[in-house]
A and B are shown apart, each in its own frame.
Chain A
Amino acid sequence: MGSVLGDWPSFDPHNFSQLRPSDPSCPSRMTPATYHPTHSRTLPPPDQVITTEAKNILLRHVYQRTEEKDVLRPKRAPSELLTPEHGCKQPRASPL
């Protein structure tokens, strides 16, 4: 099979020599073979919306540090903070 480019000068005459027509009914149309995925694991969720983060990187780091401190701290129920003396909470099981 001759080169797709015919007799035009090319850097390497073997370039494009592997191309085969994907559709035998029109052999001159040389689109390279395409590949389709066999699974849909990598599809984005249908309701995905990609937007720019409104906070700049400095503020993102500031918020991240605050959240890290929250994560590192021992977890506590929010209502404990407000009314510890009302005694409506079960005493916490001792870790010992």
Chain B
Amino acid sequence: MFRSNNIVARVFQRQIYTPAPGTSVHCARRFYENLVPSCTIYDVECPDHLFRKFTDDGQYLISFSRNHQDLIVYRPTWLSFSCKEEDCDAHDLPPKSKRFESFFTQLYCVPLASCNEQICKDFFLYMESNQYGIFATSTPVTEAPASEGAIQGVPFIEKMTFHLLRLGDGVILDEKVFNNDFVNLTHNVGVFLYDDLLAIVSLRNQAIHILQIRDSGNLVDVRAIGAFCHEDDELFLNSNAQCMALPDKSKLPQLPENHAQNGLHHSQPNLEDSFLSGIKQRLLSFIFRGIWDEENDPSLRVQGLKKKFYFHFQDYVNLIIWKVQFLDRHHLLIKFGSVEGVVSRNADHHLAFFAVYNMETTEIVAFYQNSAEDLYLLFEQFSDHFHAASRNSLYMNFISSPSNNIHALEQLRCIKNKANVSSQFVKKMLSSLPFSCQTQSPSPYFDLSLFRFDEKLISATDRHRQSTDHPIKFILRRQPYSLKFKIKSGPEAGSSDGRAKKIALFLFHPFLPLALSIQQTLFLQPSVVNIHFRR
């Protein structure tokens, strides 16, 4: 649409031409080719906090104190200064303006964690509609004591609290506590936010807790999927257990008092082992019915079942929930795997399956192995639907993925063609499912249609990366393929100690030409913060 790269010419063009249908956001984004964060303030003097993220609406910068106990929230602003000379552009910025406070105003500092707890610094979720933030504090992670109903080998947290905070003023609205449990919080892995629904995966107790965030600021329990599927399953089973346990009253006189708490366990200890309930039952019966329906002939049917179901029965029974995401308000994508896969670092070699579960009808809709081609095709064609965190957030549809960006699709196809073994490639791609929530920056500088950059050094995913001394280049994707800006982390002259391993974190503002790069060496030295902005 824009023939000229000159920004004034583009503005005039915009006055005359209407963009093609459905491309108004893409056309507006092309102005980011002209407005780039090319100016860098190196090694800005700033408070020694752990900067975590810009919220996706660009209103707040979230950071935690070094001791992991306080939350500090800043408002991104912009620097302003006055210059008495005539030709201001040629001058360098006045030293007084080159400060952290020129760009960020502290709003408040709120203590979240009490004495022996710490804030999980890798976890933060933002609910844009009400400007609520979700944080987590926990006691230290320890080795798991063996206990009934819990998975062996999964770590143990004595107390974990999720805090719902109104970011406008820092008021803590509600809390949800999990005791003697474990939820994987690094990079938002174990928690998924969709609209106002929160899914928390309790690995240790194998339950998916669905909570709703009301507009009033309350965290309300909706259901817990795991041992039970419907909300009233537990009530039903307990009431039946009471009825069936009555004849045994004469043999076990202490039973009636225990009924209220442990109805199922004490009255029918045998059923504990043979009665698979909840989501496990749904899953196994779905697999069974699928194999049963493949054949018409009864003997072939039984053979098929023996080979495909009963031979692997114990493996299926031993599957545990690894990770969960919402596909829409009623459907969950659940990843099942083996116990060993959860605790090991390299989960790729372990068995894994995906299931689509409808929470309303409590039915499993589909079941795939992690090497399933048809799931991979859905992933390739509809990646942005897997990323959906809300029905209403507009910018999520424009984060580059193979389904909405030709360059991302080409990259994916390139890797696919290079892969020797197709199933290995499919497994590798599907290992990123279910996606973690809010881990990608919506900044237009990561739009693959606008800029080309080295994805190993920087990308939309907010993770710490290996830091290099040379700057990361952002090159125009379109004519004239020129270098537009560079992002360099660390001090301007490079660091003196070349041998120390350095990691960098890049925080891009969602829509302003503003970015922070934070370089840390791994020996608790203070981090070097650079501010990249458009002058």
Contact = CB atoms under 8 A, between A and B. Distances in A.
Interface of A: 55-59, 61-63, 65-66, 69-70, 73-74, 76, 81, 84, 92
A66 B366 CA distance: 7
Contacts of B296: 74, 76, 92
Contacts of A55: 328
B7 interface: no
Given A57-B382, A58-B382, A59-B328, A65 B366 contact: yes
> 8 tightest CB-CB pairs across the interface, nearest first?
A58-B385, A74-B296, A58-B382, A73-B293, A62-B366, A62-B356, A56-B385, A66-B366
B2 interface: no
Most buried by B among A62, A65, A70, A92: A62
Interface string B288-313: 01101111101000000000000000
B386 interface: yes
A84 B298 contact: yes
B426 interface: no
B388 interface: yes
A13 B289 CA distance: 74
Nearest to B384: A58
Nearest to A54: B328
17 contacts: A56-B385, A56-B388, A57-B382, A58-B385, A59-B356, A61-B378, A61-B382, A62-B356, A62-B365, A62-B378, A66-B365, A66-B366, A73-B294, A74-B296, A76-B296, A81-B289, A92-B296
Contacts of B295: 74
B356 to A, nearest CB: 5
Given A56-B385, A58-B386, A73-B294, 8 more contacts: A55-B328, A56-B328, A58-B382, A66-B365, A74-B296, A76-B293, A81-B289, A81-B292
B374 interface: yes
Interface string B355-397: 0100000000110000000100010001001101000000000
Interface string B16-34: 0000000000000000000
Nearest to A84: B298
A63 B327 contact: no
Interface of B: 289-290, 292-296, 298, 327-328, 331, 356, 365-366, 374, 378, 382, 385-386, 388
B298 A63 contact: no
Contacts of A61: 378, 382
- Please report whether the interface of chain B is mostly helix, strand, loop or mixed according to DSSP: mixed
B445 to A, nearest CB: 28
Nearest to B293: A73
A43 B293 CA distance: 41
A92 B298 CA distance: 11
A91 to B, nearest CB: 11
A65 B374 contact: yes
A61 B374 CA distance: 10
Contacts of A65: 366, 374
Nearest to B288: A81
A57 B397 CA distance: 14
A58 B366 contact: no
A77 to B, nearest CB: 11
Most buried by B among A56, A69, A70: A56
Nearest to A70: B293
A76 B366 CA distance: 20
A81 B295 CA distance: 12
Contacts of A58: 327, 378, 382, 385-386
A31 B296 CA distance: 67
A56 B330 CA distance: 11
A89 to B, nearest CB: 11
B326 to A, nearest CB: 11
A40 to B, nearest CB: 33
Contact of A59 (B294, B298, B327, B374): B327
B331 A59 contact: yes
Nearest to A61: B378
Given A63-B365, A73-B293, A81-B292, A56 B327 contact: yes
B67 to A, nearest CB: 43
Nearest to B391: A56
A76 B298 CA distance: 12
Contacts of A84: 298
Contacts of B298: 84
A57 B366 CA distance: 15
Contacts of B331: 59
A70 B286 CA distance: 13
A57 B386 CA distance: 11
Nearest to A55: B328
Contacts of A70: 293
Contacts of A62: 356, 365-366, 378
Contacts of B378: 58, 61-62
A63 to B, nearest CB: 6
A92 B297 CA distance: 10
A65 B289 CA distance: 16
A70 B293 CA distance: 8
B84 to A, nearest CB: 57
A59 B292 CA distance: 24
A66 B382 CA distance: 17
B322 to A, nearest CB: 20
A65 B378 CA distance: 11
B186 to A, nearest CB: 27
Contacts of A56: 327-328, 385, 388
Contacts of B327: 56, 58-59
